Amino acid sequence: MQELDPSILQKVNTWLEGNYDADVKKEIQALLDAKAYTELTDSFYRDLEFGTGGLRGIMGPGSNRINKYTIGAATQGLANYLKKTYPGEKIKVAIAHDSRNNADLFSNITAEVFSANDIHVYFFKALRPTPELSFAVRHFGCKSGVMLTASHNPKEYNGYKAYGADGGQFVAPHDKAVMDEVAKVASVDDIKFTRVDANIEEIGEEVDELYLAGITKLSISPEAIHRQKDLKIVFSPIHGTGITLVPQALERFGFENVILVDEQTTPDGNFPTVVYPNPEEKEALTLALKKAQEVDADLVLATDPDADRVGIAVKNTDNEFILLNGNQTGCMLINYLLSAWEDKGKLTGNEYIVKTIVTSNLIDAIAAAKNVTCYNTLTGFKYIGELMTHFEGKQTFIGGGEESYGYLIGELVRDKDAVVSSAFIAEMTAYYKDKGSSLFEALLDTYVQYGFYKEKLISITKKGKTGAEEIKAMMETFRKNPPATLGGSKVVTLKDYEFRVETDLNSNTTKAIELPTSDVLQFITEDGSIISARPSGTEPKIKFYCSVNGKLASKEAYAETGKQLDAKIDAIMQDLGV
């Protein structure tokens, strides 16, 4: 880039001349002096969007970066929304942060701005998992909560997740109302940064105790755990907040042989032992798998930095450790929960489970066989939380989840929860071991019984301003020219969640989709394959989800049938051009 766009330069000068810290101005001036115009453009070409889930971005100076001022503006806007929504009330909020670099700094800034706006803050004095923040919002009767985290993003990122009074992330119309208030914070001078100590109350171990006691009561198979209490469980928090609660939860459930991955137990925002702190990636579980082989473990658990998602590894029939993907773990959890509830005579016909539209339809098949209602929501756990709040006191939520490794059991929180999920994955492993089966063998039995469903996710990263434009163009092309066939099978249904229309391509008839609007396209083929295209709401990516299924004649046919389904997925993705 030869020169800086005048509109970008104008924003840069606003920061250089405005009421910003000297250190921030020095960083910006250094970029100007170095003629780092591409970096300056990406840092200033827009205001970092306060989206439906809050903020997420790269840390650094600039309006499109995570820093004291973008965090401050988000908090001021949220405070303004709360004061308009609850006039005359004493408003309470809860704040927590994970292990990311600057997360403690940003959580303090968030507390300061709320306190300056005469809002009472319950402030976790040390790092805590996202689900405990959701629990605290509900427990203390807060109107809102904030979690400082960028989940599994690389170390350069941080973020800000905003929660409503039900302990779930904001949904329509409240999300838009918050976004509008944040957008109205036009100047750094509109942000109240002056801390009011009397409005900040520190919390910690007493909330841990309440939360842990609550999830321990949810255990369904304590007898199986007692018989399998020596089950060997390797756990890694991948330098995140999982270390604060997951080992304690496993201990309270009755497991006595939990082995920690020592190199990854210390919280560290640089995530020094992994490329990405993402339990979806095999690389992130390298040390955990090594430890599991050394001790001949039954189960490997690894949580992401804010401990709302969990990845697992189990031994296959050849005694080799393999990673289960999010769909497989979710299906197994739901199958276990419904089977265990059935065993205990707890299914009354009033229970339900929830999944997202891009999560395996094997879950729907399992629920149908057990006569339990399965609801499908848009992608994003906030929609699962919204449904739970809607049905609270009317129907009983057993569990739910999404393919991106996020699950929830019980109604204590309104977000995905790797703490309770880790405890229940261990309980599930003990339950099947007690019956003489491994978790992997139980998965194969599930496929034989309900059908072999196989999924694949392909993410294409497009960074910066040009990347966002490319992603938008890809979605427009798919809308205007949907594929006629995929993987040799005719596309018979097109679901456009942006316009909330489902089209039967055989009859050319349409019907409404009874879900909120979302930029997602789904192609459903004659043979039951489902392909979804969805731009990510939190990362510069477009994601393609492909789900195929077939009959698994026997456990012995697993490998060969799996190859056939893989070939089908590859053919579909090739037809899509991704």
Q: Are residues 347 and 478 both part of a single domain?
A: no
550: in domain: yes
Q: Are residues 191 and 242 both part of a single domain?
A: no
Across the range 59-76, mean pLDDT stands at 97
Q: Domain boundary residue among 450, 469, 490?
A: 450
pLDDT in tens, 496-529: 999 999 999 999 999 999 999 999 999 999 999 9
Q: Are residues 32 and 58 both part of a single domain?
A: no
Range of the domain at 473: 452-576
CA atoms lying within 13 Å on the CB side of residue 440: 18
332: nearest Cα among 250, 445, 219, 455: 445
**pLDDT over 60 (residue 1):** no
pLDDT of residue 511: 96
125: in domain: yes
Q: Are residues 409 and 436 both part of a single domain?
A: yes
* CB distance 503 to 514 below 8 Å: no
pLDDT-derived band at 466 (thresholds 50, 70, 90) equals confident
**pLDDT over 90 (residue 51):** no
546: in domain: yes
pLDDT of residue 396: 98
pLDDT in tens, 285-339: 999 999 999 999 999 999 999 999 999 999 999 999 999 999 999 999 999 999 9
Across the range 432-454, mean pLDDT stands at 97
Q: Are residues 464 and 409 both part of a single domain?
A: no
Q: Domain boundary residue among 209, 238, 266?
A: 209
The continuous run of DSSP H or E covering 470 comes out as helix 464-480
Q: Are residues 442 and 476 both part of a single domain?
A: no
Alpha helices (H) in 159-204, listed in sequence order: 174-183
Residue 488 has phi, psi (to 5 degrees) of 80, 5
pLDDT in tens, 226-270: 999 999 999 999 999 999 999 999 999 999 999 999 999 999 999
- Which residues fall within 8 angstroms of residue 333, CB to CB, at 6 or more apart? 399, 401, 407, 409, 421, 424, 425, 428
- Dihedral of CA atoms 389, 391, 395, 396 in degrees, nearest 10, equals -20
Give dist(CA 307, CA 151) in Å, integer. Answer: 8
* 501-504/489-496 β-pairing: antiparallel
Q: Are residues 434 and 518 both part of a single domain?
A: no
The residue type found at 566 is D
pLDDT-derived band at 577 (thresholds 50, 70, 90) equals confident
Q: Considering only the C-alpha atoms of the chain, give the largest distance between any 2 of them, rounded to a whole number of Å.
A: 72
Residue 213 has phi, psi (to 5 degrees) of -65, -40
* Mean of per-residue pLDDT scores for the chain: 95
Residue with tokens 């395996």: 360
Q: Are residues 409 and 284 both part of a single domain?
A: yes
Across the range 197-204, mean pLDDT stands at 98
pLDDT in tens, 540-564: 889 999 999 999 999 999 999 999 9
Residue 308 has phi, psi (to 5 degrees) of -110, -10
pLDDT-derived band at 33 (thresholds 50, 70, 90) equals very high
pLDDT of residue 398: 98
Q: Domain boundary residue among 30, 45, 60?
A: 45
- Quick check: bond before 173 cis, omega within 30? yes
Instruction: Using only the alpha carbons of the chain, give its radius of gyration.
Output: 24
CB-count burial class (<10 Å; 0-12, 13-18, 19+) for 518 = buried
311: in domain: yes
The residue type found at 416 is K
pLDDT in tens, 475-484: 999 998 899 9
Query: What is residue 480's DSSP assignment?
Result: H
pLDDT of residue 52: 76
151 is catalytic: yes
Total count of residues recorded for the chain: 578
**pLDDT over 90 (residue 470):** no
Average the pLDDT over each of 45-59, 121-135, 360-374 and give the range with the smallest value: 45-59
Structure token digits, residue 340? 């265990």
Q: Determine if residue 371 is left, alpha or beta; phi over 0 gives left, psi from -120 to 50 gives alpha, anything else beta.
A: left
**pLDDT over 80 (residue 537):** no
**pLDDT over 80 (residue 394):** yes
**Residue 87: which CATH number?**
3.40.120.10
pLDDT of residue 520: 95
Q: Considering the chain, what percentage of its residues have pLDDT values greater than 70? A: 99
Q: Are residues 418 and 441 both part of a single domain?
A: yes
Residue with tokens 């798919």: 478
Question: How far is C-alpha 383 from the chain's CA centre?
Answer: 12
Structure token digits, residue 439? 């978790």
Q: Are residues 427 and 329 both part of a single domain?
A: yes
Catalytic residue among 43, 63, 115, 151: 151
pLDDT in tens, 84-125: 999 999 999 999 999 999 999 999 999 999 999 999 999 999
313: nearest Cα among 407, 233, 254, 430: 233
**Residue 484: which CATH number?**
3.30.310
223: in domain: no
- Quick check: bond before 305 cis, omega within 30? no
264: nearest Cα among 237, 284, 289: 237
Our count of domains for the chain comes to 4
Give dist(CA 325, CA 151) in Å, integer. Answer: 18
- Using DSSP, state whether 95 is helix, strand or coil: strand
pLDDT of residue 526: 95
Residue 412 has phi, psi (to 5 degrees) of -70, -30
Structure token digits, residue 483? 């594929």
Q: What are the CA-CA distances from residue 509 to residues 494, 512, 515, 523, 576 (Å)? A: 11, 11, 19, 15, 24
Q: Considering the chain, what percentage of its residues have pLDDT values greater than 90? A: 92
Query: What is residue 556's DSSP assignment?
Result: G
Residue with tokens 């989800």: 545
- Which residues fall within 8 angstroms of residue 459, CB to CB, at 6 or more apart? 536, 541, 542, 543, 544
578: nearest Cα among 530, 536, 543: 543
Structure token digits, residue 20? 């910003």
pLDDT of residue 538: 63
Give dist(CA 75, CA 110) in Å, integer. Answer: 6
Q: Are residues 134 and 238 both part of a single domain?
A: no
Give dist(CA 415, CA 191) in Å, integer. Answer: 29
**pLDDT over 90 (residue 465):** no
Q: Can you give the pTM of this predicted structure?
A: 0.94
199: in domain: yes
Q: Which CB contacts under 8 angstroms, 24+ apart, belong to 18-24?
A: 18/187, 18/188, 18/189, 19/188, 19/189, 20/69, 20/188, 21/68, 24/61, 24/67, 24/68, 24/69
- Which residues fall within 8 angstroms of residue 138, CB to CB, at 6 or more apart? 166, 167, 412, 413, 414
CA atoms lying within 13 Å on the CB side of residue 324: 28
Question: How far is C-alpha 22 from the chain's CA centre?
Answer: 36
266: in domain: yes
Residue with tokens 């399965």: 374
Q: Are residues 282 and 429 both part of a single domain?
A: yes
222: in domain: no
The continuous run of DSSP H or E covering 25 comes out as helix 22-33
CA atoms lying within 13 Å on the CB side of residue 79: 23
